[in-house]
Structure 1
Amino acid sequence: MVGPAIFRSLCLVFLLATNVVALVWPTPNPAFQQGRSAKDFIQPTASGILKSGLFGCVRNGGSRFHEGIDLFPLKRDRTGEAADPVYSILPGRVVHVSGIAGHSSYGRYVVVEHDAEKPVFLTLYSHLSRIAEGVAPGSRVKSGTILGIMGRSAAGYTIPKSRAHLHFEIAFQLTDDFQDWYDRQAFKEPNRHGNWNGMNLVGIDPLAFYEAMHGRKEGGMNAHLKALPVVARIRVFTGKTPNFVTRHPALVTRSFQEAAVTAWDIAFTKYGLPVQWTPRFADEGLTGRAGDVQVLAYQQRLLEGQSCKRVLDMGASGPRISRGTLDDLKKLFGFR
């Protein structure tokens, strides 16, 4: 566990659904809590451009999406390797440990499910040099539990010593049936990560989340999600209840257990997180066949200003559901 003095310097108060716990910064660097600039904790890519280490369309001139934030180390060992511990930011349960660096572009990584919060969410800690003893699927962790040591492990590319870092994500799992979708693709490599493959995760900006919690502007994850701008609303005609809905009932706008659902109206954030689900019923007289997908509303200005990972593509004839969104709908609903 992290020592008491360091722990106090890293903590924020986080209001969960049932109690108040400590929200911990994932590394020993106190710069964020001290109100210092992002340059004091963010590791940029080889470009040296600071925003390349942030979340969003920040790489390759804005055309490439980065799913989390990259945090540099304060401490190095005698060989120059990063030596900072990496902490679980909240209590939870370890759901995935990938201990072989060559099995993922994440390198060695750990995924923790924070199951006391509503909605449940995941945090992902990657490029670790090693994973802490006792950190295994099913193990419980507290705020500040050491998950591993920061490093530069990765598959398919090399991270130099000078840019060793923690890649940190806050995400939501799209489906419990990810393997079914994966098996229908033309991937050459097996899925070694089950439902915690990065392609089955959709996330939010970790830094924006911390800023909201630090300023006490919001009460927790649910309040934070409600404050995120919605860029599109999409209707999917199906009577199926996705396991995303079962896992995140806090995101559903009205009860549906005793009604005949014929469609779902889904609100998406800028980078594709489905944050609001409204069941539509047979007696509402909606027109559509099973499997039909309709765009109900969209924020044209926000979509046109986005350079990657759009929910909708804007064309001369109007908006089209993007390929990435269609893939996510297939994962969510099991469509083929």
Structure 2
Amino acid sequence: MKRPRLTLALPIILGFLAAFPAQASAQSSDVPAWLQKHVGLNDGQIAPVVLHRARALYQQKRRKGQVANPCYLAMDATRPSTTGSGKPARRFYIICEAQKSFRAVSSGYGNGRKLQRADFSNGRQCARNFSNAEGSKLTAGGAYVTAETRTSFKGYYSQSGKRRPFHRTFLLYDGEGDTRNARERAIGGHPAVFLKWQCRFPNPDSPHADKDGYVPYGKLVDYTSGRSNGCTTWSQSASREILDLVEGNPTTLYLYPASDDINAVAKAVTSGKSLSQAGLYWNATCLKAIGAPKFWPKKTLQPVINKWRRSLPKQPSTDLPICK
């Protein structure tokens, strides 16, 4: 097995060490050797600051008795959605130190919105905009603890010539600080797949039938590593692993970048300062693509979203057509 290359990470690691010697010293001395091999900026590796904060959050919650899960989670939303070869890039991390296990998987980030008064939409490859405003459809970085799961029926789809029910499980998050409104925003984690409704068919024996005995039918759409409504979204195989890991046994999730990181990076970019010299981190590929990130605080963006919602015309309710 080839040892992961750390050369690309060296400038930012050195900058982090110089700017935050106490944090970096604790980080380098505490992190076991097997885990240090996974630290870096290449695909499948975790950036030093992301690991440091994820470990600190997990250890704090363990000491307080708020979590007992032997594993913890982290995400780096500054990374691109796909690699240079077009494969889903890995930016979500499952770390189990007791088992010496580290796994990196893909995950989506918030796609945002493009409104007349404000454009806070994100492209498919890199996230520029972040927010904790309800209805923004954007990612908010910071500290979370996984909570309960909810499984809901989405409709029927075809598999092997048969119509089968599709249920999707949603993992709720509880946040703190900027992320304390995670439940209000319906922010959590789930498989990156949805059912695009096409029609409805009679199935009065189904427990999901409406008052007229119909159920919705559609096509499954997989958007692994793409954008979401602000939630973390994983492939179906990774979702099963994560949901099994935290079901009835909560753990922590640290999602980078937090609002302070975003503002600091934007300020450094505007002033022409080197991120490494300033002790800051952002994925270099995405920073080049977006120019500078932006955090839209709830107090600024929420009135814009609320006014836009009030301006929308009321849409008449329509029924899906009958399947042929």
Q: Check whether TM > 0.5.
A: no
Q: Which has the higher contact order (CA 8 A, sep 6+)?
A: 2
TM-score band w.r.t. shorter chain? under 0.3
TM-score normalised by length of structure 1? 0.26
Structure with bigger helix share is 2
